[in-house]
Amino acid sequence: MMTGFGTLTAKDVDGNLTQVNGLYAAFSFDEGENWPAEYRRIISDNSKTVEIAPWQHLANLSMTTSQTGGYMSATQTPDGMIYLTDGKIVFSFNLAWIME
């Protein structure tokens, strides 16, 4: 699993393949050689304006847009949950969500 920033084909908030922009999670079945579009998800809560650390600027999250920069940190807990944060916002998801 990886996370990244960019514009690419991935699943939107509703799970539909489309062009998305910003923070996403992806899964590879071949040691990172390929990252199939159907296993990429935008990391967004659908519609919210949030303040992004460390720059304190506003970002508009939507169906197809997430934050477009930041210094991210992630950890996976024993129950399989993945927590991703920029120090201000915490996103949580698991592998099953990426694979949906």
pLDDT in tens, 9-62: 999 888 899 999 988 899 999 999 999 999 999 988 777 788 877 677 788 888
Distance CA 100, CA 95 (A): 9
76: tokens are 């996976």
Instruction: Please give the tally of structural domains in the chain.
Output: 1
CA 93 to CA 100: how far, in whole Å?
12
Supply the DSSP symbol for 20.
Answer: E
Question: What is the arithmetic mean of pLDDT over 63-79?
Answer: 89
Q: Residue 70: is its pLDDT beyond 80?
A: no
What are the structure tokens assigned to 27, written together? 């899964």
Could you tell me the residue range of the domain that residue 9 belongs to?
A: 2-99
Those residues whose C-beta lies under 8 Å from the C-beta of residue 79, and which sit 6 or more positions away, are none
Q: What is the pTM of this model?
A: 0.83
5 has a pLDDT exceeding 80: no
